[in-house]
Each structure stands twice: as C-alpha cells, then as structure tokens.
Structure 1
Amino acid sequence: MKYNKLGKSDLNISEVSFGCMSLGTDHAENARLLHHALDRGINYFDTADLYDKGENEVTVGKAFNGMRDKVNIATKVGNQWRPDGSGWDWNPTKAYILQAVEASLQRLQTDYIDLYQLHGGTINDPIDETIEAFELLKQQGKIRYYGISSIRPNVIREYVQRSNIVSIMMQYSLLDRRPEESVLDLLHEHQIGVLARGSLAQGLLAGKPAKPYLGYTLEEVQKAAAAVKAVAGASRMLAETAVRFVLHHPAVTAAVLGIRTAEQLNEALQIAAAAPLKEGEVKTLQALLPPNKYEEHR
C-alpha cells in the first residue's frame, strides 16, 4: 500500500481509502470488513454525520474502539436532520458545528477527529464564521485538521484564500473531468490534498450498462468505457484502470472508494496494489473526449 501526505497536514493516508457511506447496519459484519481493510493497509476511513442519521459514525466508532491510534477517521458536518426525520437542512453556522462535533465524537467513541469536513457549502454561507468554528475545534484538540467536501469552484477558491484547509473531497473521474479546468492545479499549487470520490462514475467505467452522464451522450459514455477496457487489456480490471486514471494527477492524494462487501474491498485492495498508468495510457484516455466543465458555481 502506498501512503501520501494529505496536504500540509502530518496525516499519511492510504492512496486507496475506505468510503464508509455504503456500509450496512450489521455492526459485527462491518467491523470484520473494516478490520480486514486496516490489516491490509487501508488507514483512512471516511464517514459523515448525515449517513444513516449518524448510525454510520456509530458503526465506525464501534469497529475501531480500542485501536484509535491505528486509523485516520474523517467525518463531515453541515447537514442538520430535522426533528421529525423528514430530511435535512443546510446549516454551516459556528453554533451548529460546535454542537454537531460533540455528537460525532460520541458516536465515533473518540476524543478527536483526524479530518473534519464541511459537507458541502455555498458562496452565500457565513464562510468566516464556519472557518472560526473549525479553527476553534483545532485549538481545543477536538479535530486535528479540517477540509471541505465540495465540487463548487467559487466555494473552493474562497476556502483556499481564507482558511487553513488541508483537503478538498470532490468528484473526479474520466467522465467527470470538471476539476481539471482550474481546481486541481490551484489545490496542487497551495498544497491542499484532493480526496477523489466517484472515480468509477456510478460504475459506468467498471462494466455497468452505459447511460448519458454529466453532459456526455450515451455514445460518448460507451466510447469512454471501451477505451478503459482497451487500456485495461487482459492484465487489469476495469475499475483498476479507472481509479488509476484519477490517481495520476499530482493533486490527488487518495481515491476514496465506497465499500460495502468483501468483494468490493478485495477489488479496492487490487487497485491499491496496481502499478500506475503509463503516461501514454493517460494521454490516450485524456484524448478520448473533450473535458466537461462546470456550468454553475464558477
């Protein structure tokens, strides 16, 4: 397993990391899966207070109770469940973040969170107030570092300029190259690590039936899937090629893969053990389709 330093932090995280959102409700089964991932070298586990109304944090906390020093735990804040459970509302205020972190710490059975992330964000948020909350939590030792989970270039630029974020989680794949236009180079320049999600484009790059996706037509998606298959050849899995395309960019610290089953974990471990794509293979994939671009939040 390869490990990369996350931005300017001292967190060295596995290049292929564990997205916990898809985990089921069987705590014992989840613990077996999470422990196997840790035993095989995955050391970064990403959850959120939103997932399963906090139960996802509970299952991660139960699994790693007593082995906290071996793992990097990341969670997210900003989506506040309504009292009746009918949905959630966006709340990036300082007061809410300071309240929400206490509940996350309790569910995770820990005294600190390695990476606390704002789970979204808009340009109209009270950004300075949000930053104040994260900085205060750092001073109190309740979080080690903070970042944001966002695909919005205008929001990302504000946090780059005004905060001490160490990471951005964002969607990035061969079928979603929007971050390449301006965001990835900006983050690389400022030594802010990218945690890439959605590397398989809803499975479209790993064998699922083609459909239109993010402005690409059915035919273009089929073309991309065929190119991934051609580059993979007989020696690589499709998913391996798709994720390795994402990891080729120097701004990307890790690919966070959603894992629910032992089969998915084994696939992730195979991706982690794979060699990087050759430069010619990357260029072949890049030349396939014109990169899509953000239409909003520029």
Structure 2
Amino acid sequence: MRYTTLKKTDFKISTIGLGTNAVGGHNLFQNLDEEEGKDFVREALQLDINFIDTADIYGLGRSEELVGEVLKEYKRDDIVVATKGGQHWFDDGSVKTDNHPEYLRQAVEKSLQRMQLDHVDLYYLHFPDGQTPLAESIGELSRLKKEGKIRAIGISNVSLEQLKEANQQQDISVLQASYNMLDRSAESDLLPYCREQQISFIPYGPLAFGLLGGGFAPDTRLDPQDWRNSIPFFQPDQFHQTLAIVEKLKEIAAEKGTTLPNLALAWLLAQDGVDSVIPGGKNKVRIRENVEASDINFSQEELARIDSLLNNRS
C-alpha cells in the first residue's frame, strides 16, 4: 500500500481509502447486513487501509455507529477518520440541508458520540444549503478545529465559486467531488483550483457507482428504491452507450493484467491532484482486490490511449 500526505495536514493516508455508505446505509441501499458491513471495515484496516470515510446521513447515523464499533478494536492514532455533516434529518423521515453554525456544532458533537471518538480527523461540509454564507459555516468548523474536535476541514458537492468562497481563509484541506473515468467534469475547474491552492482532491464515485465495477449487463435493472436511479449514466438513453465504453476499458485492463475496477482506481491516482480514492462496497472480497490498485502504474502512452477512448465516446 502506498501512502501520501493530506494537504495542509501531517496525516499520512493510504492512497486507497474506504467509503462506507453501504455500511449501515439503510437509507441508500436495500438488504444490508450490518455484521458484513463491520467485517468490510475490519478487512480494510487489516490490509493497511487507514483512511475511512463516512457521513452522518448514511443510515441516519448508523454508518458512523458501526464504524465506531470497529474503530474501538484498533489503535486510534493509526487511522484517519473522515465524516460529513450538514444534513439535518427529522423524525418524520424528512431531510433538510442545514449549514447554520449552531447546527453544525451539534452535528459534530453527535458524530463524535456515535463513533465514540473525542475528535474526528477530517470533517466535511457535506452539501451547501444555498442560504447560509459558506464563510459562516467554515468559520464555525474552524472554531471546532481550534477546540480540537476536528483536525482538518473539507467540503463536498460545491461549484468552483462556492469552493472559492469557502476557502477565503485557506481553511479547506480537502475537496470531495464526483470524478471517475466516465465523469471528468471536475477536470475543467475544480481539479485545477485544488492543485493551485494545495487542496487534496478526493473523488467520490470512483467506480461510477458500480458501472466501472464491471458487473452490469445490458439487461441489468436497479431496484426501484436504489438511489442510483437518479444518475444520468443509469438512464436508458445513456446506459447502453456507457456499457460499450466499459467493455473497451475491460480490454485495456486485461492487457495490463488487472481488473476493470483496479484500472479505474489506478487511473484516478495517476491524475495530478488526486491524493486518494475511496471505493465503497459491501463485500470484503472487493477490498482485497482494490488494494492492488495502489501499485499499478501507467506509461504516458497508456494514459494517452485511455484518454483517447474516453474523449471519443460520443
């Protein structure tokens, strides 16, 4: 496993991290086994993955609870824990994005309680609420950082303009945004800004939410309750075209002696500014496969070939 340093911190993080939205994320996925989810996290830690990513909205706090149960079994100082907040849920099941400083302070405290921690290493503002000035939200997270409740500040799901507003005082260490072989929109503005401002870029959806896992067939249909139904790649007008590109990427992976998921993860790590990837999943077998991506390197010719394929997929 290779490691790198998270920007503006002294944290050494594994280049392959772990996304845990399917660990207790009952509001996102159907028929989750919580014991299997905890074993998923344990397997990652045993394979020297030390960068664990969760969020309070995953399972309405349940993911954080399960991650916290596993963390108690390991040496805390060896693990970099990230969570996200700013999604306020209510007893009737409704959810409201809330970036108000008072709410964020409450959210941080509740996350720490659920994970049974005295601090979290990286805390993201999960979504902007479109009302609270980001300077106020990040200002409160900065105060929590000074108090030792969080050690670094991140932000997610923002435009370039919002990122610039949030980073006025150079407080942002990490941006988490959608980026993968099939969605390269971050390359136009977010990724260059992060490189310029020394902000670590952590892609979410590195496997295009399963499409780059290689397991989809033309007749595959998602469960009607699956949140991925809202993603354009899974819409009928794009699905079959996307699968055609996936098949060509499988050929490149086979030539390189690896799998399609590992090709996709390694490709992201080869992009300047990307410090770690956080693939998720449900089964610990996938984690064993993912760690191999850390050791894959590309020649300039290989990267050019992949770019040519991805740029000419219309």
Tell me whether the two structures share a fold, i.e. TM-score over 0.5.
yes
Task: State the distance in 1 between where 2:200 and 2:297 align.
Answer: 19
The one-letter code matched in structure 1 to 2:280 is: G
Amino acid paired to 2:18: F
Tell me how far apart the structure 1 counterparts of residues 239 and 298 of structure 2 sit (CA, whole Å): 26
**1:281 positional shift:** 1.6
Residue pair 1:27, 1:63 contacting (<8 A) in 2 also: no
Alignment partner of 1:281: what SS?
Answer: helix
Bigger strand fraction: 1
| Distance (Å, rounded) in 2 between the aligned partners of 1:173 and 1:83 | 35
Q: CA deviation at 1:220?
A: 4.1
Displacement, 1:28? 4.6
Offset of residue 12 of structure 1: 1.2
1:182 maps onto 2:196 in alignment: no
Q: Is 1:213 paired with 2:233?
A: yes
Structure 1 range deviating more: 116-125 or 255-264: 116-125
User: How much does 1:152 deviate?
Assistant: 2.4
2:173 corresponds, among 166, 173, 181, to 166
Which residue number in structure 2 is paired with residue 242 of structure 1?
A: 264
Q: Does 1:71 align with 2:69?
A: no
Matched, 1:108 2:78: no
| Other-structure match for 1:157 | 164
Contact 1:177 1:291 in 2 (8 A): no
The equivalent position to 1:121 in structure 2, one of 102, 119, 128, is: 128
TM-score, normalised to structure 2's length?
0.85
Q: Kindly state the Cα deviation for residue 123 of structure 1 after the two structures are TM-superposed.
A: 5.2
Partner of 2:302: 281
Could you tell me which residue of structure 2 aligns to residue 21 of structure 1? 21
**Residue type at the aligned position of 2:301:** G
Q: Percent identity?
A: 31
Q: Which runs of 5+ in 2 are unaligned?
A: 25-31, 221-231
Which residue matches 2:228? none
Q: Which residue of 2 is the match for residue 6 of structure 1?
A: 6
Within 1, Cα distance between the matches of 2:201 and 2:312? 19
* Residue 249 of structure 2, aligned match among 217, 228, 234: 228
Contact 1:151–1:171 under 8 Å retained in 2: no
Mapped partners of 2:213, 2:78: distance in 1: 31
Answer yes or no: is the 8 Å Cα contact 1:178–1:291 preserved in 2: no
- Alpha-carbon displacement from aligned partner over 1:180-219 (angstroms, at most 9, x marks no partner): 0111111011110011111111222232236962898456
Q: Distance in 2 between matches of 1:202 and 1:29?
A: 20
Using the TM superposition, give the Cα deviation of residue 178 of structure 1 relative to its aligned residue in structure 2, in angstroms: 0.2
Q: 1:223 Cα deviation (Å)?
A: 4.0
Letter in 2 for 1:75: T
1:74-100 deviation line (CA, Å, top 9, x unaligned):
11110000132x221010000000111
For 2:200, the equivalent position in structure 1 comes to: 193
Which residue of the partner structure matches residue 81 of structure 1?
89
Tell me, in whole angstroms, the C-alpha distance in 1 between the residues paired with 2:129 and 2:107.
19
Q: Equivalents in 1 of 2:19, 2:159: separation in Å?
A: 21
Conserved 8 A contact 1:138-1:145: yes
In structure 1, runs of 5+ residues without a counterpart are 293-298
| Conservation of the 8 A alpha-carbon contact between 2:154 and 2:172 | yes
Query: Cα gap change, 1:154/1:220 in structure 2, threshold over 3 Å: closer, same or farther?
Result: farther
Q: Residue 288 of structure 1: CA displacement? A: 2.1
Q: Distance in 2 between matches of 1:149 and 1:220?
A: 29
* Deviation (angstroms), 1:290: 3.7
